[in-house]
Amino acid sequence: MDLAGGYFLKMMVFPADFDLVGSGEAYGNCGSFFTVGCLNVDAHQGMNLDGVDMEGKAYIERHKQSCHRPLCPTCWPDWDNREKDKAATRLKAFVLKGRSLKPIHLIVSVPEADYGLSVPEMREKVYRALKRVHCLGGMMIYHSKRERKSDGSWYFSPHFHIVGYGWIQDVRKNYLESGYIVKNVGIRKTVEGTIFYQLSHCGISAKHHAVSWFGALSYGKLHVRYDEKEDPMCPICHERLRRLLWIGPGKCSLPEIDGGVFYDDPSNWMEKPRTRWIGED
Ligand SMILES: [Zn+2]
Ligand SMILES: [Zn+2]
C-alpha cells in the first residue's frame, strides 16, 4: 500500500492518532534572523538609554523568525511558550469564594475499548470521569501517544493531561463505573513548567485545539482578560519599530541573539520598503 493510503487507513481505524508536536516540516526561513529598529535619529538627540548617549545612533533589535506552528520542528517552542502563558493566566484567574487554590495535575487514560473514538468523543467521556472524581475544572491537553521506554519510539495510547483544581475522590469508583483511569500525578516545580512540558509532546490536529477548558474554567464560566500584545516600540522615541535591511559595508555582523539589542550608525540601515510587523512573514 502507498503511504497516503496507509495514513488514510490508520485515520479510519484510529481517528485520534494525531501527529506529535514538532513532527512536521519547517518553512525555509524558520529560525533565521531579521532586524527591526528605529532610524529616527533626530528624535534620539540628547536622549539616554541605560546610561548610553543615543545621539546619532539607531536603535536595533535582532529577532528569530518563527512560524509559531506546533508541528514545526524549529518553531514549536515559540508556540508552546505562548500557549503556556495564556493557560497559566487563565488558571491563575480562577478563585473559589475569594481564595486561590493549589493546582493539581491528573492523567486520564482512555480504555482500549474506546481507542476508535474521535477526540471530541473521548473528551466528553474524560469530562464525565473528571466530574465523577470531583475535579472542579481546568485545562485538558490531549496526548495521542506514549513513548516506549525500551527504544524511545512512540505508539498510539490516547490519554489526557489535566491541570486544574479540585480535591480528588472516588477514583476507584469512577474506574469501576466508566473504565477510565484517573491518576493524580502532581505539579512539577511550577505550573508553567508542567504545562510547557505537557504541551511539548501533545497530539496536534488542524481540526482541534491542543488545549481545551472544562468545568468551572470553561469559556462560558470563567471570563479572563488576556494582555494584548503591544506593537514593539523604540524605547527612546516611542516610534513603532520597523523592519530594517543592512546596507552597510560587507555583511551584517550583528550576532544572532533572539531579542538582542544594539545601537548602530544609522547609515548602515534602511527601512524595508513594505512595512511589516515583527514575525509576520
Ligand atoms: Zn517554523
Ligand atoms: Zn526611536
Assign residue 209 the CATH number of its domain. 3.30.70
- The answer on 73 and 33 residing in a single domain is yes
Q: What is the Å distance from ligand 1's center to 76 Cα?
A: 7
Q: What is the sign, positive or negative, of the torsion defined by CA atoms of 97, 100, 105, 110?
A: positive
- The answer on 54 and 23 residing in a single domain is yes
Q: Kindly identify the ligand whose nearest atom is closest to the C-alpha of 57.
A: 2
Q: What is the Å distance from ligand 2's center to 237 Cα?
A: 4
Q: Kindly identify the ligand whose nearest atom is closest to the C-alpha of 43.
A: 2
Q: How many domains would you assign to the chain?
A: 2
- The answer on 259 and 242 residing in a single domain is yes
Q: Is residue 54 assigned to a domain?
A: yes
Report which of 95, 60, 62, 67 is spatially closest to residue 82, judged by C-alpha positions: 67
E-assigned strand segments in 92-215: 104-109, 135-147, 154-166, 181-184, 203-204, 211-215
Q: What is the Å distance from ligand 1's center to 275 Cα?
A: 21
Q: Kindly identify the ligand whose nearest atom is closest to the C-alpha of 32.
A: 1
Q: Is residue 7 assigned to a domain?
A: no
Q: Is residue 137 assigned to a domain?
A: yes
E-assigned strand segments in 110-222: 135-147, 154-166, 181-184, 203-204, 211-215
- The answer on 231 and 174 residing in a single domain is no
Q: How far is CA 281 from CA 62, 68, 227, 259, in A?
A: 15, 11, 23, 17
- The answer on 49 and 108 residing in a single domain is no
Q: Is residue 125 assigned to a domain?
A: yes
pLDDT tens digits in sequence order for the chain, 281 residues long: 455 666 666 666 799 999 999 999 999 999 999 999 999 999 998 888 778 888 899 999 999 999 999 999 999 999 999 999 999 999 999 999 999 999 999 999 999 999 999 999 999 999 999 999 999 999 999 999 999 999 999 999 999 999 999 999 999 999 999 999 999 998 878 999 999 999 999 999 988 888 999 999 999 999 998 887 788 999 999 999 999 999 999 998 889 999 999 999 999 999 998 755 565 54
- The answer on 108 and 204 residing in a single domain is yes
- The answer on 208 and 126 residing in a single domain is yes
CB atoms near residue 161 (< 10 Å): 22
- The answer on 111 and 201 residing in a single domain is yes
Q: What is the Å distance from ligand 1's center to 161 Cα?
A: 25
Q: Is residue 210 assigned to a domain?
A: yes
Q: List the domain range (segments joined by +) for residue 134.
A: 102-215
- The answer on 116 and 41 residing in a single domain is no
Between strands 261-264 and 181-184, the pairing is unpaired
Q: What is the Å distance from ligand 1's center to 278 Cα?
A: 14
- The answer on 121 and 157 residing in a single domain is yes
CB atoms near residue 44 (< 10 Å): 24
Task: Using the 3D structure, point to which of 200, 215, 230 is the last residue of a domain.
Answer: 215
Q: Is residue 11 assigned to a domain?
A: no
Q: What is the Å distance from ligand 2's center to 238 Cα?
A: 6
Predicted pLDDT at 1: 44
Q: What is the Å distance from ligand 2's center to 234 Cα?
A: 5
Predicted pLDDT at 140: 98
Cα–Cα dist 21/198, whole Å: 10
Take residue 45 and report the three cell numbers written for it: 538627540
Q: Kindly identify the ligand whose nearest atom is closest to the C-alpha of 70.
A: 1
Q: How far is CA 150 from CA 147, 153, 154, in A?
A: 9, 8, 11
Predicted pLDDT at 229: 78
Q: Kindly identify the ligand whose nearest atom is closest to the C-alpha of 234.
A: 2
Task: Using the 3D structure, point to which of 215, 237, 255 is the last residue of a domain.
Answer: 215
Q: Kindly identify the ligand whose nearest atom is closest to the C-alpha of 29.
A: 1
Q: Is residue 256 assigned to a domain?
A: yes
Cα–Cα dist 101/165, whole Å: 7
Q: Is residue 240 assigned to a domain?
A: yes
- The answer on 169 and 203 residing in a single domain is yes
Q: What is the pTM of this model?
A: 0.84
- The answer on 227 and 90 residing in a single domain is yes
Between strands 154-166 and 58-64, the pairing is unpaired
Q: Kindly identify the ligand whose nearest atom is closest to the C-alpha of 30.
A: 1
